[in-house]
Structure 1
Amino acid sequence: MKCTWCQQLQIRNLTIAEILLPWNIQETRCAQCQEKLSLTATPCCTLCMKQGQLSPCDECQLWQQKYPAYSFTHHAFFQYNDAFHDWIYRYKFLGDYRLRKTFSKEISHFFKQHPKSIVCAIPLSSEWQIERGFNQSEALLSAANIPTFDLLKKSQHTPAQAQKNRQERLAMIQPFEATTLATTIQGKEVVIFDDVYTTGRTLFYAAETLMVFKPLKIRTLSLAR
């Protein structure tokens, strides 16, 4: 089988479950690619998983002041390092669609812990959808067999976040609108998924849009922080 990152052939021992049910064989990252990643680890911010914090970081304290009614919880699998930067550039900006399977194991494991969640991927504008050919966040979830619901739509086209500095990201105006499906989330747990958490601005705007429909809980999830 091929590594889901470098696409090189790899040899590994199958689990008993994979031997008995060969159609359930999971594609994985090779050892060399795995070593490139840095897992999120303690100490980290208790709210957004920013590294090197023992309590809510300064950024999260500001978000708490801005959204006092929103009890937010963010989870990220990895630290945003040089290797992850290279991966996301290849996947999102060069359009290497094969890479959508790279983190399926982690995504699948997370949602096994939250089986009743309604999952929403951050949407793209129609312009970005046409240019890239796919929604990178939605494709990651689909590769992990996680069904998604279009609770949000992007009401305006904005430059890619990677092209903005921190202040420009934070100054971004609300780009989302709720769809009619959002009326079904009252009293339910919602998970909003994006590929990367940088300033949190995108995810907080998404949560702000959905909060008016009174979900039980809104969690946010990203591959890296």
Structure 2
Amino acid sequence: MTCELCGRIQQGEWTLSDFFNFHQPQMLSICEVCRQQFTRITGPVCAECGCQSQISPCAECEIWLTAGYPAIHNQALFAYDEQMQQYFKQYKFQGGYHLRDVFQEMLAQRLVKVAPTMIVPIPITAETQNQRGFN
């Protein structure tokens, strides 16, 4: 299998169970080199937006809340840094629908852990839907 981001060929690791049950080895959709380039959010975070921050609310959320906007209580798995921006550019604007599963397992684990009361899908315009071909 090839990495969905860089195209490197990945080698699956066979277990005895895979071998005796005739299962393919479990493969990740991106290689370990690409996976390591994403910055996982750890440590103190802003309780509002979920960004890594020593203070809560962070400076941006403080401005947001002071202006009278409601709290959002977002939780992010990764920092929105250059690597993540490149991922979203490829996913959203370069026909990268195949990248939809890259973070699926980690996101599912987080959802089980935090048990949100609500998940809010963000709608897109018909024009954006036509441009991407998916939502």
Same fold, TM exceeding 0.5? yes
Asked if the contact 1:4–1:101 (Cα under 8 Å) also holds between the matched residues in 2, the reply is no
What TM-score results when the alignment is normalised by the length of structure 2? 0.75
**2:76 counterpart of 1:76:** yes
Give the TM-score normalised by structure 1: 0.49
Structure 1 position 121 matched with structure 2 position 88: no
Residue-by-residue CA offset, 1:14-38 (whole Å, 9 max, x unaligned) = 5788676948945342111012111
More strand by share: 1
Percent identical among aligned pairs is 29
Structure 1 pair 50/120, CA: closer, same or farther in 2 (3 Å)?
Answer: closer
Judged with a 3 Å threshold, the aligned counterparts in structure 2 of structure 1 residues 6 and 16 are, in CA distance, closer, same or farther, namely: farther
CA distance in 2, matches of 1:15, 1:78: 30
Question: Which residue does 2:30 correspond to in 1?
Answer: 29
Alpha-carbon separation, structure 2, partners of 1:26 and 1:108? 17
Residue equivalent to 1:91: 91
Aligned residues: 133
Question: CA separation of 1:16/1:127 partners in 2, compared to 1, >3 Å: closer, same or farther?
Answer: farther
State the 1:42 CA deviation.
Answer: 2.4
Q: Per the alignment, in what secondary structure is the counterpart of residue 39 of structure 1? A: coil
In the aligned structure 2, how far is the partner of 1:111 from the partner of 1:35?
22
Structure 1 residues 128 and 16, CA gap change in structure 2 (3 angstroms): farther
Partner amino acid for 2:134?
Answer: F
In the TM superposition, what whole-angstrom CA distance separates every residue of 1:119-171 from its partner, at most 9, and x where no partner exists? Answer: 44211111111111111xxxxxxxxxxxxxxxxxxxxxxxxxxxxxxxxxxxx
Once the two structures are TM-superposed, the CA of residue 78 in structure 1 deviates from its matched residue by: 0.8
Aligned residue for 1:107, secondary structure, equals helix
Distance (Å, rounded) in 2 between the aligned partners of 1:115 and 1:46: 16
Distance in 1 (alpha carbons) for counterparts of 2:18 and 2:109: 17
**Partner of residue 62, structure 1:** 63
1:45 corresponding residue in structure 2: 46
Q: Superposition RMSD on alpha carbons, in Å?
A: 3.1
SS at match of 2:111: helix
Q: Which residue of 2 aligns with 1:197?
A: none
Contact 1:5 1:102 in 2 (8 A): no
* Secondary structure of the structure 2 residue equivalent to 1:78: coil
Partners in 2 of 1:16 and 1:103 — Cα distance?
27
List alignment gaps of at least 5 residues for structure 2.
none
Unaligned runs of 5+ in 1: 136-225
Alignment match, 2:6: 6
